[in-house]
Amino acid sequence: MDDERDPATAGQQVPDGFPEAFGWHPEPELLGVRDAATSREALRAAGAATWEAALDYLYDHALVRAMGDPAGYAELRSMYFGPSGGPGAAPRYPTPLPDLLDEFRTRIAPHTVSAWHPRSYGYFTPPPLVASIFGEILSQVAQQGVDVWHAGPVATFVEEEVVHWLCDLVGYGRGGFGLLTSGGVMANFIAMTLARDVHAPRLLGLDHPPRGRELEALRIYTSDQTHFSIGRAIDELGFPPECLVLVPADDDFRLRGADVAAAVAEDRAAGLTPVAISAVAGATNTGSVDAVGELADVAEHEDLWLHVDAAYGAAARLSARDAGRVPDLERAHSVTVDPHKWFFQAYDIGGLMVRRGADLEAVFGSRRPEYYRSGHAPMPSHNADAEAGHGEAGQLNFWKLGFEGTRRWRALKLWLSWKHIGTAGFGRLVEVNVDLAAHLAARVAEATDFEALPAVPPLSVVCFRHRPEGLAEGPDLDAHQDAIQAALETSGDGWLSTTRLQGGTWLRAGILNTQATTADVDRLLGHLRELGAAIS
């Protein structure tokens, strides 16, 4: 009888006619996978073929050109979509996997930006660690939903463990907790929500989070080097635009405590209510690190929420040598960390760490959907009185801690990577990038036709420009940088982004690359000089 089958083997029973149910497809064994005798070898072969396509991409394209075959937007769009010039209808009939892998090789792989190329120093897109790639594969096969505990029981514990590792990195002790997000934008959004809904009510004497006109007198202080997501969060959270106060950074692009204190005093005198400071530790533009200790002093004295966007810079704390470049994070109420930046993780994985982890549930945990009934159990307390490293008894359900319901299992790849190379290994990789940035800055400093701003990089971002003799400050010099960047991109021999600093255009090298060496940096600089001479 069916109900007398051994539970350990019941799942291996293949109903009569099961494989035939997928006979409409040319590869039915890749759809109906219950029968190991039929599908296991087919899945192994499909995996091997897919991995081979990945290796073909790596060695035929990614390590050969930093940017795909030269093509502008319109040209590449035409090449990809064909005569129609735009997306067509969805495919009606199935295509065998080998044909799709061939299409990837010919239609997609030659046209990608390469994070793997040793002279690719554009946006913060590092080549992912192999362990991270494998962790991503395993997480997708397991298909765990890390929202309600029952949907991903052990996956929840893996994320809890990784979150605690990140809290330790930031310097949070008992009571600290957080969650993994899609990236820094979502983490910063959640941080600004905490400032609004946790801190502002107390300052305003409210028994509810402020909304509407109650937000008008609040002020949040930041600098012009802050990531755009802070301003976006303020907009979407209902604050009027004037609630975000831009305080000028110093000559090294750092936000200083005295300047914020002066802005706070001016606003208090005008009857306004300062509520938060949003600092940055590793600005996207320049890699600058705000004076977090000074800002923490101001926050404590003025009773403000301090958030630090350390999406990029927090990883410096993985290095015993370079941890001092990003000090005082433990003094912030919340810290953004992005492992898909300087932890060399496959997209996507960001995170927000909160000094008082219970604040997350206080803001996001009030709703109780009926279909999440199994996740209505009390949460662990994550309070400062709990045992070190553990919250009080309860059930951890991450949907109560942020905006997302369904959450992918982002933690496994970082868990696997961290165990594979250790904190010391991460630190070595970070130090190499810091040293490469210092080498690039030194080569620029000794050259007569290049200059950097700032002259000494705070982390691994170097902003510099080619300044040939006779080309004065102004639109022509700016256009020269754009032309060099475009020529480098076309050559495929490297990749840089550009940015605007102090009213001018600068080349920007964001060195987050495990494959780069000093020889690559020297070659890039020499090539830029050649391109600059040809353009001039």
Measured at the alpha carbon of residue 288, what is the angle toward residues 307 and 198, in degrees to the nearest 5? 5
The mean per-residue pLDDT over the stretch 194-213 comes to 97
From start to end of 113-217, where are the E strands? 120-121, 177-181
CATH number of 175-368, picked from 3.40.640.10, 3.10.20.600, 3.20.20.120, 3.30.300.30:
3.40.640.10
Asked if residue 377 has pLDDT above 90, the reply is no
Split at pLDDT 50, 70, 90, the class of 18 is: confident
Phi and psi at residue 480, in whole multiples of 5°?
-60, -40
Average pLDDT over residues 248-269: 97
Q: How many C-beta neighbours within 10 Å does residue 45 have?
A: 14
pLDDT at 391 over 60: no
Give the Cα separation of 364 and 359 in Å (integer): 9
For residue 164, give Cα distances in angstroms to 178, 345, 382. Answer: 8, 18, 11
In the chain, what are the domain boundaries? 175-368, 418-535
**Cis peptide preceding 454, ω within 30 of 0:** yes
DSSP 105: I
Of the pLDDT bands very low, low, confident and very high (cuts 50, 70, 90), residue 379 is confident
Judge whether residue 165 has pLDDT over 80: yes
Report the pLDDT value the prediction gives residue 465, as an integer from 0 to 100. Answer: 97
Residue 1 is predicted with a pLDDT of: 41
Question: Three-state DSSP class for 281?
Answer: strand
pLDDT averaged over every residue in the chain: 93
pLDDT at 387 (0 to 100): 44
Res 392: pLDDT: 56
Alpha-carbon dihedral sign for residues 78, 81, 82, 87:
negative
Which helix (DSSP H) or strand (DSSP E) does residue 315 occupy?
none
Give residue 378's pLDDT band: very low, low, confident or very high (50, 70, 90).
confident
Distances (CA, A) of 525 to 30, 120, 439: 49, 13, 11
Which amino acid, one-letter code, is at 453? L
**What is the predicted pLDDT for the residue at 384?**
53
Q: Sorting pLDDT into bands at 50, 70 and 90, what band is 370?
A: confident
Q: How far is it, in rounded angstroms, from Cα 8 to Cα 219?
A: 60
Beta-carbon count within 10 A of 290 CB: 31
Q: Could you read off the pLDDT of 422-466 as tens digits, one per residue?
A: 999 999 999 999 999 999 999 999 999 999 999 999 999 999 999
Rounded average pLDDT over 35-43: 94
What per-residue confidence (pLDDT) applies to 454? 95
404: helix, strand or coil: coil
Residue 71, burial from CB neighbour count under 10 angstroms (0-12, 13-18, 19+): middle
Alpha-helical regions (H) of 26-66: 36-57
Torsion, Cα 180 185 189 195, to 10 degrees, reads 90
- Per CATH, 175-368 and 418-535 having the same topology is answered no
CA distance 108 to 61: 11
* pLDDT tens figures, 230-258: 999 999 999 999 999 999 999 999 999 99
Look at residues 50, 48, 31 and name the one whose alpha carbon lies nearest to residue 39. 31
Q: Which residue has the tokens 């907009």?
A: 235
| Residue range 494-508, pLDDT digits in tens | 999 999 999 999 999
CA 1 to chain centre: 53
Indicate the pTM of the whole model.
Answer: 0.94
Residue tagged 């890699």 (tokens): 287
Owner of token pair 């305080």: 247
Residue, of 311 and 9, whose pLDDT is higher: 311
Strand segments (E) across 244-367 = 244-246, 273-280, 305-309, 334-337, 350-354
> Percentage of the chain with pLDDT > 90?
86
Rounded to the nearest 10 degrees, the angle between the axes of helix 475-491 and helix 518-535 is: 120
Q: Which residue has the higher pLDDT, 8 or 358?
A: 358
Take residue 200 and report the two structure tokens written for it.
């502002």
Which among 507, 528, 535, 532 is positioned nearest to 121, based on CA atoms? 507
Each residue of 89-122: b (16+ CB within 10 Å) or e? eeeeeeeebeeebeeebeeebbbebbbbbbbbbb
Q: How confident is the model at residue 390 (pLDDT cuts 50, 70, 90)?
A: very low
User: Given a cut of 60, is residue 389 above it in pLDDT?
Assistant: no
Q: What pLDDT was estimated at residue 17?
A: 82
Residue 31, both tokens: 């759809």
**Residue 19 has what pLDDT?**
79
Inter-CA distances, 345 with 63, 124, 450, 523, Å: 18, 11, 33, 27
State residue 13's pLDDT score.
84
- Considering only residues 472 and 336, tell me which one the structure prediction assigns the higher pLDDT: 336
- Contacts for 31 with CB less than 8 Å, ≥ 6 apart: 22, 25
For domain 418-535, say whether CATH 3.40.50.300 is its number: no
Q: With a cut of 50, say whether residue 518 has pLDDT above it.
A: yes
What is the structure's pLDDT at 470? 86
Q: What percent of the chain has pLDDT over 70?
A: 95
